[in-house]
Structure formats: C-alpha cells, structure tokens
C-alpha cells in the first residue's frame, strides 16, 4: 500500500497530524501552506503553495484547524484524501470514518458512529454509539457526545463540552468550551454555558 502522503497547512494542528502519520510509518513528502510561518514542521520542509505542483497520485490530508477553510480547500483541490487515526485512539470496527478525517490520541469512537469527511476528533474526545458527525466538524479535546447525537456540517464543539443523548446540533454552530447541551440547536448560532444558551445568531457566510 502507498505510504507517502502530503499535508496542506503548516500550523500547530499539522504537528499533531505529522506525529500521528510518522508513528504509523507514513512518509511525508512535503507540507504546503499558502502563507508559511515556519520553514519546517517537526523536521518536515514547508513549501509555499505557489511553488508546488500538486501530485494527484499522492494522498493528502488538509492539516488546517479552521472548518470553513478545510471545506474550501477540499472543494478547490480534487485530491486523494486519507484518514489519520492515532494508535492510542479507540475506534469501533462497527463505526465508519470518511476521507480526510483525523482522530487524535485517546479519542473513543463507539459502535455505529458515522463520521464524515475532513473532520477533527481531538484528544480524549468521546463519541458514543449511534452518533452522526457530518463533514468538516471539529470535536475539541475532552468533549463528550452521548448516544445518538447528530452534529451538523462545520460545527465546532468546544473543549470539554457535553452533549446529552439524542440531541441534534445544526450546521456551522459554535459550542463554547465547557458548555452543557440539553436540547436541539438550530443552524448558525453560538451557544455557551450550563445549560447552553444562544448568545449569537451568525450569518451563513460568517
């Protein structure tokens, strides 16, 4: 199986992905970035995008934490995207993880979970049985989703947030750190607190 991979995006988030890939014996050919702030990431050379000819025969991961940017780049570049799952993550054989998604150390993904494209399931996050995580979602460290939760496209679940069973969260929602979500959430809102309360209604293009 082809073990070479490229990353799009040089940042703190890319460091975690590099670490995962190297631990799984992938060869990282290059890291590219539109506006590089570093020459290297964990010893891997960073190239400016304008100087790179995309190799469509290689596999890629978009190593950028911003959900909206990941969506834009995945639409712009029709590349072969792979998943990266840390060796210390627990991922049920009865769950599915789509292309471009990364799962960090200590995360737990239980049976019949469906995780979409280009998601981030961060360190020690818990995704319980029968949850549906749609594309471009970021579930932050130590966040916990009880059984049957649905998370809409592009939503960011903040660090340490808790969502009780059966709740549906809309698309492009921001859930604040430590929030406790007890009922369904509409699209395009920011919600914080315990219990969670909406503090902002966002526009679709925000």
Which residues are known catalytic residues?
A: 129
Q: How far is CA 155 from CA 125, 140, 194, in A?
A: 15, 11, 19
The residue assigned the tokens 């703190």 is: 12
Which residues pair with residue 74 across a beta bridge?
none
| Closest residue by Cα to residue 145 from 189, 114, 172 | 114
CB atoms within 10 A of CB 77: 13
**Distance in angstroms (rounded) separating the CA atoms of residues 199 and 81:** 36
């Amino acid at each position: 199986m082809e073990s070479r991979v490229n990353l799009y995006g040089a940042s703190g988030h890319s460091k975690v992905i590099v670490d995962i890939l190297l631990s799984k014996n992938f060869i990282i050919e290059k890291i590219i970035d539109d506006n590089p702030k570093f020459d290297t990431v964990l010893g891997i050379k960073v190239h400016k995008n304008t100087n790179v000819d995309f190799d469509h025969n290689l596999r890629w991961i978009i190593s950028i934490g911003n959900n909206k940017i990941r969506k834009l780049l995945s639409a712009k570049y029709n590349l072969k995207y792979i998943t990266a799952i840390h060796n210390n993550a627990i991922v049920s054989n009865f769950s599915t993880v789509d292309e471009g998604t990364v799962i960090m150390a200590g995360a737990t993904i239980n049976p019949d979970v469906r995780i979409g494209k280009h998601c981030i399931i961060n360190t020690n996050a818990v995704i319980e049985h029968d949850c549906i995580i749609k594309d471009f979602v970021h579930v932050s460290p130590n966040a916990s989703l009880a059984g049957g939760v649905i998370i809409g496209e592009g939503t960011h679940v903040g660090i340490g947030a808790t969502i009780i069973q059966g709740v549906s969260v809309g698309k492009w929602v921001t859930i604040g750190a430590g929030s406790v979500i007890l009922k369904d959430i509409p699209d395009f809102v920011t919600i914080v607190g315990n219990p969670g309360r909406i503090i902002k209604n966002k526009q679709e293009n925000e």
